[in-house]
Structure 1
Amino acid sequence: MKRLGGLLGAKASLSTSKSLTALDEPAAYVERAEAELSKGTSPFHKLGLSTALFLRAVLGFEKEVMEKAQACLNDAEETASEHQRRAIRDPTKAHQSKIYNAGAEYALCHAESQLMSAVVAVLNESLTESLKGFYKLRKAFTTLHDISEQERRYLERTGKGPSSSQASLASSSAGGLQTPAQSSGNLTPQSVDDDDDDEFVDAQESTSDFVAPPPAYAGGPEHRDMEKLSLEETLDKKLDPSVTPNGAATDSKATVEAVDQDLDFRTVTSDPIDLFIHSGTSLCFGLLQLLLSIIPPAFSKLLSLFSFRGDREAGMRMLWSATRFKHNINGAMAGLITLGFYNGAVAFCDILVKGAVPETRLRSLLREMRELYPGSKLWILEEARMLGADKKLEKAVEVVGQASDSGLKQINALRLFERSLNLMYLKSYEESAKGFIQCIDMNSWSHGMYYYIAGASYVELYRLHKESDRKLADSYAVQADKYLHIVPQHVGKKGFMGRQLPFDVFVGRKIKKWDHRAEKMNCSFVDAVGVSPIEEMTYFWSGFRRMNDDQLRTSLERLAWSENVRLNPHWDTEASDEKAILALLKATCYRFLREIPQAKTTIVDSVLSHELAELKACEFPDSWPLPVAHYEMAVCHWIEAGGQDGDRAMLQRSSDELLKVERWESYELEARVGLKITTGRQTLRKCGVASR
């Protein structure tokens, strides 16, 4: 059988019998891996095939692929559950482990299948399917916790000490029921009276297509009722080394040292199945903690139904632990998730403690993964993202552009999308537009967004040549009009959690706004477009952070077009919301140019000087600049304070500004800045700055 381990590195590894013993099989590309894995019927074959399909689904967001992945995952769940039952009924025929109870490897396969199934369900356009997905998360957590308990007990019996990865997640004492007030803020299965498997039921709905999860993994006579388990004490004291017995937080240096001293499980056992179980549990727990810690606030009520809350730091420690096992699927997945999270999310947050992004460790991980899996394009994509974070946009474009095509069109689409974004930041508008149009043939998820950015790029080209070459400018105007008016045909067709995608709502309103302005001002559509939509997109995609000083100054020049009454005679009578957008974007450029006083003055005088009611009174209004301006002020205060060890009064002002954004009513594209706000609040709390 081919290896499951390197699916992310275009390889796969599996066992030929009841255990994972074949660790050095030849490599195969994903397509061949899928073909080979389809021939087998073991839980490992089906988990491997499901993982390959899952990757296709989450990389491309294509409905037909998601449906196929979901069906395969359901099959993998059932198969793993059946093998688990066999192992428990007759342990003599199961893998003999000194650490885990009979059938633990199948229980892990079952939990991993449930987790992937839950993610696919949440990505589905149905709210009901999403609810079922969260229910599966809960059941998977129960299984994973039971496996980790077995590991913890073994470490205690042998005197090897607790692992600060998933093993120490388990508590040696069963507490009472945990109420919301008692929650430690960690990933916790809170219980209610008489909690059982029937807690979640879709009222008056046929459940014929709902595959009920199997019973929680019992594993042996020591199993306890996981639904009645409280993890508060353990999560506070054992999982998080930065928390002392009295609940007080120690400094971040102690936490880093604790992570570095994390037990390497390879010193505990050399059994390949045991290592697979350990690394898989670390991966799954880590991913659960991470995902649930960054869920947008809008989902908080939904998650409360399942009593889950995440802990980002704990999740990252578990994922780092799993990356030690780079030769199997768990380590490869953990590496991809870790790099993706830092390069695609945390790297673009503004309020962070020193060392929040472990750059040296990340570079080392990326180097090791590229050496281990040289044929994989996902690691090249992560390298490009890392270069972008280093403000080396030209190099990032070069790295992605020179790589050969992947066998997966979803990965090729991701690379093209990343390249096109970087070209947008570099002001290579025509090449960027062509790249986004190419994405349409490679990905079915958000054609409206691709057309919108392409059209906005041609708007910028029109403005650049309007005075110098009118004929060329007019040709760009035609392209802008064409692509922007295609956008409404492609918005509203996709959904998330049963709701229209926020970006679709945003761009749909923008097109209506510009059509209305063209009629009202008696001008062409392209002349009715407001403040640079490309610079606006650059803000929402954190592009200003990737730019060097020269590129930021060029952005200021492009923004200045709107205020030039010779080029834009409508500016003097422009609506308040457009003037607020312009001021906010300029202030952000000033901030990244380290001109903090200028940034603050611009925000106060030209954004916060407007009332929310005033902006809402505009036609097809953009009201988002006001809440986002409070976030930008928070960042300015953080920088002026000198960061985590700076002026306390200024840090408090930063916290107060963030609190204003948190309490703000819903606004367009809030999810694009939501993670930054959440991270900023967490950072300030660690600095001892409390909310007022």
Structure 2
Amino acid sequence: MKRFGGIFGGKAGSSSASRSLTALDEPAALQEAMAAASHIMNDEVERAETELAKGTSPFHKLGRATTVFLRATLGFEKEIMEQASARLAEAEDSASEHQRRAIRDPSTAHQSAIYPTGAEYALCHAESQLMSAVVAVLNESLTESLRGFYNLRKAFATLNEISEAEKRYLQAQGKSYASSVASAAPSTGSRTPAVGSGVLTPDGSGNDEFDDDEDDFVDAQEDAAFESKTATGYQGNLESSDFEKLKLDDARNGGSVPTSTRSSISTPSETAANDADRIDFRTITSDPIDLFIHSGTALCFGLLQLMLSMVPPSFSRLLSILSFRGDREAGLRMLWSASKFKHDINGAMAGLITLGFHNGAIAFCDILDKSSLPEARLKSLLSEMRQLYPKSKLWLLEEARMLTADRELESAVQKLEQGPPSPLKQVEALALFERSLNYMYLHRYEDCAEGFIECVGKNNWSHGLYYYISGACYVELYRIHKASDPAKAEEYAIKADKYLHEVPLHTGKKRFMARQLPFDIFVNRKIAKWDHRAKALDCSFVDAVGVSPVAEMIYFWSGFRRMNDDQLRYALERLAWSEDPKLSSRWEQESVDERAIHTLLKGTCLRFLGQTREAKAMLADGVLAYDAARIKACDHADNWPQPVAHYEIAVCLWQEAGGQGGDKSVLVKCSDELAKVEHWEAFELDARVGMKVATARLTLKKCGVGAP
């Protein structure tokens, strides 16, 4: 059974084909590998692969692994993920072998005034572990996912040592600096340190089911494993042999037995906490290996903190096993710091992650403080990246997302159509997906449907989603033409029926953390609901569809926020179809859950049109006035409108208060509404709303308003 090793846990001899680097070799090998890897960020993956294949150093192997990792995370294709896992395992083993050699004989390795001997290889190993963890969590097996989270913990332990060494050096030089991972001090009364504290190594006592002395994780019955009672944190040894217990500082200390790595970091002030972003490390050192270590550590820490801060609450119990919690602000500071190194792969990746997070998540949240979306800085970063990597459509994609955030949807579509196709099919698929979403927000339903059908042939990410949105668009087209052109309407009805009934054939197979994907559950229930209604009402399937399913999709993808006023008013016109007796004959008999959906979507449109008082009253009277049990009693009930309505009312209150610095009493009411969502039982697609709720909660805390 393959060993699930730690920092020094690579298999002996696994990289025997690669010649060990000397201290003189390292800078040239690093420079060559970094130059080759930078082609990845220009969509020139084949060129990067060819150039990286010329070398066998850990830097080259990490670069080759990164090329496949990028493909895997962009396309979610099973075969590519398997290739990425194999490449990453090879990179881990090579880094481990070189680090062991550096610690045994420091004279053979790069000598840094800042970092412990072998830190550059420890970083390569940690980066490989981090990417391996992401691939493992994307895998459909719970066992693989647990391996992934365990890998994250061990990568954190390595990165913490590197970061602490850097902090000690800067403090000795009189620099005011605080590692962003030290943004929260550990609890002295707890045996299990928390993510974000910079203290992620065990205290060395006890054993549990995650003890690394075991050969490997074994495949258990996954549902039972997920539901079983687990320890609150890892309390055993990470490494199995005395040699493997060596820490990065041991080379300096003559190989002495390490003491506990539990840190005594104190919580830094807000000024100190921002130093990681403010300090330009190039003024500290010009050593290329030191700069690689610094930018790589900032990238990895930043990404880890950001990832963990975005984990849905439903996985909090699993993360508590490994004492994980993220720190969004700390993660972003580290990513901004790493993005200063734009010419290398670490800086470019940090820039892409920073832009993607702001443009793809934060930009479409509703309750934000003034510093959450630094538009000028983001636009400057994007401009620099486009100049450095002009061939990549990844940067065009980010520019298009910025345009949608400014409610310039037509310009965003035009931007995505610019230039030749990317040689990376995964990037082309992303651009097509984004363009198709924008067609949906523009109410260009036929373009949207055709775009998503084309997506089916581009990747394997979520064919169920593609067919569902396509079918929903044809439902809308059927309704538009039903009265004016019955023949054309019938053509659309046939397509709607075809594509919506295609959905169940492409859902339920993929798993995340051994569980069915939330969206799959949602759409399968919707289609079952409409089939049931068609039979009960003795009507066609398309006539049994309830309130505009395309408007629902627009809501869950934050599309109303991207519409201008004319597009919002047209959205209200489309929603009015359901309650128009000339067009829809059964509104008076419509179920209460459908009525709640209808009112919620109308209220949201009104809010974006600036009519917050009307929206708030509509939500209170037309959604929250229903008894929750009555909604649950509906056939194949939609259980999400009521908790989401509380969120929408919270946004209305935030706007009525005047936002940041506004009326404190109204902000308290806003907080109360958020608490109702936070304490609501699980509901469909709650993770999509949960991100907005979590961001809102952070914002209110900055305003001095806490959770009730």
Normalising to structure 2: TM-score of the pair?
0.88
Does residue 194 of structure 1 match 2:205?
yes
Instruction: Give the corresponding residue for 1:237.
Output: 268
Q: Distance in 2 between matches of 1:16 and 1:626?
A: 65
| Contact 2:445/2:477 (8 A) holds in 1 | yes
- Counterpart CA distance in 2 for 1:185 and 1:662 is 22
- What secondary structure is seen at the aligned counterpart in 1 of 2:682? coil
Partner of 1:413: 429
- Quick one: distance in 2 between partners of 1:25 and 1:292? 30
Task: Tell me whether 1:382 sits opposite 2:382 in the alignment.
Answer: no
Deviations 1:607-652 (A, max 9, x none): 0011111111100000100110111111111111111211111111
In structure 2, what is the Cα distance between the partners aligned to 1:50 and 1:111? Answer: 13
Paired residues of 1:135 and 1:200 also in contact (CA < 8 A): no
Q: Is the 8 A contact 2:310 2:691 kept in 1?
A: yes
How much is the aligned-residue C-alpha RMSD, in angstroms?
2.7
- Aligned equivalent of 1:9: none
From 535, 543, 551, the counterpart of 2:559: 543
Q: Distance in 1 between matches of 2:705 and 2:184?
A: 31
Which of 18, 21, 29 is equivalent to 2:31?
A: 21
Q: Which residue of 1 aligns with 2:169?
A: 154
Preserved CA contact (<8 Å) 1:148 1:169: no
Residues 452, 466 of structure 2: 8 Å contact kept: yes
8 Å contact kept, 2:38–2:344: no
Match of 2:676 in 1: 660
2: CA distance, partners of 1:242 / 1:430? 53
Go from structure 1 to structure 2 and tell me whether the alpha carbon gap of 1:218 and 1:16 turns closer, same or farther (over 3 Å shift): closer
Change (3 A) 1:410 1:679: same
Displacement of 1:25: 6.8
- Identity of counterpart residues, as a percentage? 61
In the alignment, what sits opposite 2:130? 115
- Identify the residue that residue 6 of structure 2 maps to in structure 1: none
Q: Which amino acid letter does the alignment assign opposite residue 660 of structure 2?
A: Q
Check whether the contact 1:148–1:170 (CA below 8 A) recurs between aligned residues. Answer: no
Residue 596 of structure 1 contacts residue 636 of structure 1 at CA under 8 Å; is this kept in 2?
A: yes
Q: Deviations over 1:106-157 (max 9, x none)?
A: 1100000000001111111111111111111111111111111222222233
Listed as ranges, the matches of 1:45-444 within 5 Å are 45-159=60-174, 161-164=175-178, 178=190, 186=197, 188-189=199-200, 191=202, 194=205, 199-200=210-211, 207=218, 217-219=247-249, 220-222=251-253, 228-230=261-263, 233-234=265-266, 236-237=267-268, 240-241=270-271, 262-444=278-460
- Confirm or deny: 8 A CA contact 1:588 1:599 kept in the other structure: yes
Deviation of 1:605 (Å): 0.7
What is the CA–CA distance in structure 2 between the aligned matches of 1:603 and 1:378, rounded to whole Å? 39
Instruction: Report the alpha carbon displacement of residue 218 of structure 1 after superposing the two structures with TM.
Output: 2.2
Contact persistence 2:73–2:135 (CA under 8 A): yes
Q: How does 1:423-572 map to 2 (within 5 A)?
A: 423-572=439-588
1:250 is matched with which residue? none
| Residues 627-642 of structure 1 mapped to structure 2, 5 A cutoff | 627-642=643-658
Aligned match for 1:623, one of 624, 639, 648: 639
Q: Secondary structure at the match of 2:271?
A: coil
Shift of 1:21: 3.5
Q: Does the 8 A contact of 2:35 with 2:344 survive in 1?
A: no
CA offset digits 1:209-238 (Å, max 9, x no partner): 9x989657424245895864146x43x216
Supply the AA of the counterpart residue of 1:229.
R
Structure 2 distance, partners of 1:527, 1:202, is 61
The one-letter code matched in structure 1 to 2:298 is: S
Deviations 1:567-606 (A, max 9, x none): 1101110000000000000000000001011101110110
1:383-403 per-residue CA deviation (whole Å, 9 max, x = no partner) reads 000100010000000000123
Alpha carbons of 1:507 and 1:526: their partners in 2 closer, same or farther (altered >3 Å)?
A: same
- Whether the aligned pair in 2 keeps the contact of 1:145 and 1:169 (CA below 8 Å) is no
C-alpha deviation, 1:355, in angstroms: 2.7
Number of equivalent positions: 657
Contact 1:127 1:498 in 2 (8 A): yes
CA distance in 2, matches of 1:276, 1:178: 35
Q: Find the aligned partners of 1:463 and 1:435 in 2 and give their Cα distance.
A: 20
Q: Is the contact made by 1:453 and 1:534 (CA closer than 8 Å) also made in structure 2?
A: yes
> In the alignment, is the contact (CA less than 8 A) between 1:187 and 1:310 conserved in 2?
no
Q: For residues 594 and 216 of structure 1, do their structure 2 counterparts lie closer, same or farther at Cα, with a shift above 3 Å needed?
A: farther
Q: 1:175, 1:229 within 8 Å by CA — same for their partners in 2? A: no
Normalization by structure 1: what TM-score? Answer: 0.90
- Residues in 2 aligned to 1:509 and 1:17: alpha-carbon distance in whole angstroms: 60
Q: Report the Cα distance in structure 2 between the residues aligned to 1:647 and 1:289, rounded to whole angstroms.
A: 32
How far apart are the structure 2 equivalents of 1:632 and 1:611?
18
Q: Deviations over 1:254-300 (max 9, x none)?
A: x6xx677x211100111111100000001111111111111111111
Contact 2:305 2:327 in 1 (8 A): yes
Are the structure 2 counterparts of residues 186 and 229 from structure 1 closer, same or farther at C-alpha, using a change threshold of 3 Å? closer
Gaps of 5+ in 1: 1-13, 244-254
Pair 1:33-2:48 in alignment: yes
CA shift digits 1:35-55 (9 cap, x unpaired): 332343211111001111111
Letter of the aligned partner of 1:59 in structure 2?
L
Query: In structure 2, do the counterparts of structure 1 residues 226 and 421 end up closer, same or farther at CA, with 3 Å as the change threshold?
Result: farther
Conservation of the 8 A alpha-carbon contact between 2:196 and 2:325: yes
CA distance 1:584–1:187, change in 2 (3 Å): farther
Greater CA deviation, 24-33 or 106-115?
A: 24-33
Provide Cα deviations, 1:386-440, integer angstroms capped at 9, x if missing partner. Answer: 1000100000000001232111111111000000000000001111111101111
Distance, in Å, in 1 between the alignment partners of 2:149 and 2:25 is 33
